[in-house]
Structure 1
Amino acid sequence: MKKKPPPSPHLAAVAVMDPDLAGKDRDLLERAERHPRSYSEGEMSVWWATAPRLVRPGAGVIGLAGGAWVTGEFEWYTPSAHDGQATASDLISRTMQDVFDGLHSALTFAWPLGAGAFVLAATLYATDAAARNKSARRLAELKDRCVRPAELNDDARTLLARAQQAKKAVLTSAMHRFDLIDRQRNEVSLPRQEWGIAEALREYTRLVKAEPSNPKGGKVAALLDTRRRALRASLDGITRRVNALESYAEQVTQADDHYRELQQIQALTDGSGDVLDFLARTARDDLAVAEIEGMTGEAAAVADAFTTALESAKEAAVIALPTPAA
């Protein structure tokens, strides 16, 4: 078997969700992953979440109401008796009074509308805050149904990234796409394998982080050494699962390569009749026949190699994706 290439140093793990999650819970977790700042505050008082957003609208409504009251209190124009003739002061006062009366009418009409808009905005903001609180509570309930790379130490993140790379290689292969290997089994088992590996790596990381950083005394050091050996054995077991997935992905990739080669050979041999006619016109018949037979033999050899690679991929799937016990 071809030696496996070393894992890419640029591998990056991504969050893994429990494949048994309901659709709406999965959507919620995906939104929280895409917009972490929107969901980082957790649950908070609806009042304190709503009040800061109402300061400006509330000030606007108060300003409109106050303006309506103030403009209604001013009396700029009082008729004066000057033989029935208006003075310049009367004209100015009357003009100012008309302006204030018009402004008063407008503000008297506007502030109730502003108050209604304020109440509507307050209701919408409060409803939004309540919905966010509901989402925050649900996210808290779902915290163990998603494994994030930040929860893992370096060794665990690398293993998870390798498993995810192997899963992606299988699910994006031509073998899977054209159902030349068990497509349905891949789509069910691979996410479960990824989730099982991610859960185990999170627990491994938690236990590693729980170790004292400065052990005191020989007994503590001896106990810590035993604990670390047990954790290493557990990590080795997870590594074997990842290796099995990588072996499966490698076999599928090899089958893909042979499949593409076979397609290219078949495309070339499909035009063998034209080649035969051309060679018959330019060379002896036996040379033409020999050339065509050679192409046919190459196609048969590639087909055999593809069949062998496909069988190897199916055998690797049995190891990497064991059938769950009934």
Structure 2
Amino acid sequence: MDVAGSLRANAPLLVRIRSGWVPPATPPEPPRRGPSSVGLLAATPVVLAVMALLLDSPVAPAGFAVLGGFLLVVLLKMTSMNEPAERERPHARRVYEQARLYDGRYLLPEDFDREAADALGRAQRAIGTVLRSHVNAEGLLDGARNAVLLPEQEWEIARLLAKLSALRAEHRALLARGVAPEVAAVVQPLERALADSEAAIVARVEALERYAAHVTEAERAYHARGQIEELRTRLPRYEELLAESGADSLSVPEIERLAQDADQLERLLRRSVSSAHEAFRYLEG
């Protein structure tokens, strides 16, 4: 898995790391093998029976010793079950080292307020629509440039939204403490700056959504064209059946319409792809 994929897959771990948690630098010593949980469960009735016999005998203290020893084994087993698995520690350490190496180059959900998270989600859905489309995979769009430009757009939008969220949080905290009349004149331009910045970021998101809408239209035409082409390959069999059944007079208008539909879909697909390319060029600025 690449670094970006690793960081995406370990967001909860990154939250702990950012809060100050540091995983062990070296793997723990191999755990001592002890009795299994199933073994302990099976041994419990036997231990209780032996303890009861000892308590009714002249050597009653031995019964308490048996009980104490058994409880000690159970407690040790429970403690070992609560320890992190050995194989998880090296993984946590790798994520920790990646987080330190790429500090400042990744963001977490807690970095975004509600409005920013909504805007980022819109951008990510639009990008996913493009990158997962068949028209992109088939080369009808510029797949190589999409693979580079769209993640760059996602990061830049996310970075700006995180910065906007932090400034908005600071601004709200300031207002919550109360603002003196002399400061009110300064607050208003700052609020306009926040609003204008948000509008500019949202405009980027909307540009991505327009691009995704064109790709969606091209995708629809692409699939419809494929279905029409599949039907056209079956036409000889339908024509043969109509001729053999004596119903060939019914075939002409319906069958010819298939060819017309295919031509129309081909033109629609070309227009949709052309519009998508125009939207892509707008994203490049």
AA of the residue aligned to 2:261: E
Aligned to 2:158: 198
CA distance in structure 2 between the partners assigned to 1:311 and 1:162 by the alignment:
23
Give the match's secondary structure for 2:139: coil
C-alpha distance after superposition, 1:163-217 (max 9, x if no partner): 0000111111111111110000110011000000001011111111222023321
Q: Does 1:35 align with 2:13?
A: yes
Q: Does 1:297 align with 2:260?
A: yes
Which runs of 5 or more residues in structure 2 are unaligned? 33-85
AA of the residue aligned to 2:110: A
Aligned to 1:144: 104
Aligned to 1:276: 239
Deviation at 1:41, TM superposition (A): 4.1
Structure 1 length normalisation: TM-score?
Answer: 0.60
- After superposition, the Cα gap between the structure-2 partners of 1:151 and 1:33, relative to the gap in structure 1 and judged at 3 Å, is same
Please say if residues 133 and 215 of structure 2, whose CA atoms lie closer than 8 Å, have aligned partners that are also in contact: yes
Q: Does 1:240 align with 2:203?
A: yes
AA of the residue aligned to 2:117: R
- After superposition, the Cα gap between the structure-2 partners of 1:214 and 1:250, relative to the gap in structure 1 and judged at 3 Å, is same
Bigger drift between 239-248 and 284-293 goes to: 284-293
Q: Identify the structure with bigger relative contact order (alpha carbons < 8 Å, sequence gap 6+).
A: 1
> C-alpha root-mean-square deviation of aligned residues, in Å?
3.2
C-alpha distance after superposition, 1:147-176 (max 9, x if no partner): 112111111111000000001111111111
Alignment of 1:80-99 (within 5 A): none
From 154, 157, 161, the counterpart of 2:114: 154
Give the match's secondary structure for 2:104: helix
Q: Does 1:250 align with 2:213?
A: yes
Please say if residues 7 and 95 of structure 2, whose CA atoms lie closer than 8 Å, have aligned partners that are also in contact: no
Which runs of 5 or more residues in structure 1 are unaligned? 1-22, 58-124
AA of the residue aligned to 1:186: N
Give the match's secondary structure for 1:35: helix
CA distance in structure 2 between the partners assigned to 1:257 and 1:241 by the alignment:
25
From 131, 137, 140, the counterpart of 1:180: 140
For these two proteins, the number of residue pairs brought into alignment is 224
C-alpha distance after superposition, 1:208-263 (max 9, x if no partner): 12220233212222211110111110110000000000111111011111111111
Compare the two structures and name the one with the higher helix fraction: 2
AA of the residue aligned to 1:303: E
Percent identity, aligned pairs only, is 29
Deviation at 1:31, TM superposition (A): 6.2
Give the match's secondary structure for 2:218: helix
- After superposition, the Cα gap between the structure-2 partners of 1:238 and 1:30, relative to the gap in structure 1 and judged at 3 Å, is closer
Structure 2 length normalisation: TM-score?
Answer: 0.68
Aligned to 1:99: none
Aligned to 1:120: none
